[in-house]
Amino acid sequence: MNVASLDDLLAQPGGLRGERVFVRADLNVPLDAGQIGDDTRIRASLPTLQRLVEAGARVVLASHLGRPKGQAKPELSLKPVAVRLSEHLGRPVQHVSDCVGEEAERSANALGEGDVLLLENLRFHKGETDNDPAFCAALARLADVYVNDAFGAAHRAHASTAGLPALVERRAAGDLLLAELKSLRRVIEPERPLLCILGGAKVSDKLRVLEALAKRADVLAIGGAMAYTFLRANGEATGTSLVEEDRLEDAVRVAEAATASGHELLLPSDHVVAQRIDPDAPTQIVRQIPDGWMGVDIGPETRALYAAKAAKARTIFWNGPVGIFEIEAFAAGTKAVARAVADSSALSIVGGGDSLAAANRMGVGDRISHLSTGGGASLEYVQGLALPGVVALER
C-alpha cells in the first residue's frame, strides 16, 4: 500500500504551517433533537486534528451525517458536532452553512494558523454521493493538502473520498485511517486461532463477508436474527423469528464452506424468546423455539460457549449485536460477548455501531485492542476488497 502518512507531510520542508489542509473525517454521530448520543467517532478524529493544529495548519474539516439524499435538512446539520469538537479540542471550531461556495471559500481562506473550520454536511449535495466532477472541483478550491481520516466512508467512491484527492497533489492518510488498516490487516493475516463473531439481522446484508470469513476464521460464531436463517436451513424450528426464506441455500453454502476449510461454524444452542418485540414482553429461555415465539437474544449456554472460544482465541473480530440490543431485556447476549472479547488476551477488533456501543456501555472499550469506526468499511476490508478512499490516496 503506497500511501503517504501525516508524518510524511509534516516531514516536508515547511511542514504544513499555513496550509489549508482539507480533512475528510467521519463525524457521522447519532443525533436526537440536536443532541449527540455517542461521540466515539468525534473522539477518534482528535489525534489527527490535534497534530494538524499544533503544526500550524489551517484545518478545513468535512464529513457527512446521516442520509439527507442531497437535501439540506436542518436536523442533520453538523453544527452540534462543531460545538462538541470545540470542547474536545479546547479551541473554537467555526461552522459554515454550506460545504462549497462563496461562504465556505471565504471562511477557509480567512483561517489563521491552527484554526479549524467545520463545513456543513457534505451529503446536503447530491454531488457528494454521485462523485460529481463539478462538486469535486468546488471542494478542491478549499484545499492545498488533502488528508483522509474517514475510514468509515473509505468504502464509498464519493466526491470527498475518491474524486477530490485526485485533484490535490499532496494527499495522505490520517492517523485513524492508518490505524484502522493496520489493525484490520491482522484479521486478513491473523495470529491463530481466529474467532469471528458476526451478528445482525439479515444474511443478505453480510453474505459476502460470511462467505469470506467461513474460509478464513478458525471459528465463525453467528448471532442476531440472521442466526435463525441458518437454523431454519438446518431444519430447526424458528417460530416467528426473522428468517430470510430466500437465503436458506446461501446459509447452507456458508456452513459447507466452513466445514470444507476445516473450520467451525457456531450457531445458538439456546435462545431468549418473546412473543413480541417489546420491553415489557414476557420472555423465556428455550432450546427449541416454540410456535408463536421469536428469538430475541442468544441464551446463557450460547453465551458461555462463545465466551469460551474467545478465551482460547489469539485474534478476535466482532461485528454486530447478537440480540435486539436496543431493548435492555434483549441485550444480555451482546453484553456478554462484549465482556468476553474484552476479557480475552487475544488481539481484539470490534466494529459496527451497536458493537461499539455495547463495549462502551459495559465499560470495557478501553480493553479492546482496536475499536473500529467503520462498520461497512471494515467488513469490506476483511474480505480483501479494495477501498476506493484508500486507492485514491495511492502515490
Tell me: the pLDDT tens digits for 227-286? Answer: 999 999 999 999 999 999 999 999 999 999 999 999 999 999 999 999 999 999 999 999
Q: Are the C-beta atoms of residues 107 and 96 closer than 8 Å to each other? A: yes
- Active-site option among 224, 353, 375, 389: 353
- CB count within 10 Å of CB 287 equals 11
Give residue-wise pLDDT tens across range 346-391: 999 998 778 888 888 888 989 999 988 888 899 999 998 999 999 9
- Active-site option among 15, 70, 365, 376: 376
- Active-site option among 79, 141, 202, 215: 202
Give residue-wise pLDDT tens across range 242-258: 999 999 999 999 999 99
Q: What is the DSSP string of 181-199?
A: HHHHHHHHSPPSSEEEEE-
Say if pTM beats, i.e. exceeds, 0.75: yes
DSSP 76: G
d(CA 369, CA 371) in angstroms, rounded, equals 7
Domain ranges of the chain: 6-173, 182-382
Angle between helices 79-89 and 40-54 (to 10 degrees): 60
> Which CATH number is 6-173 given?
3.40.50.1260
Would you call 202 a catalytic residue per the annotation?
yes
- Active-site option among 41, 156, 232, 339: 41
Would you call 352 a catalytic residue per the annotation?
no
> Which CATH number is 182-382 given?
3.40.50.1260
Q: Do domains 6-173 and 182-382 have the same CATH topology?
A: yes
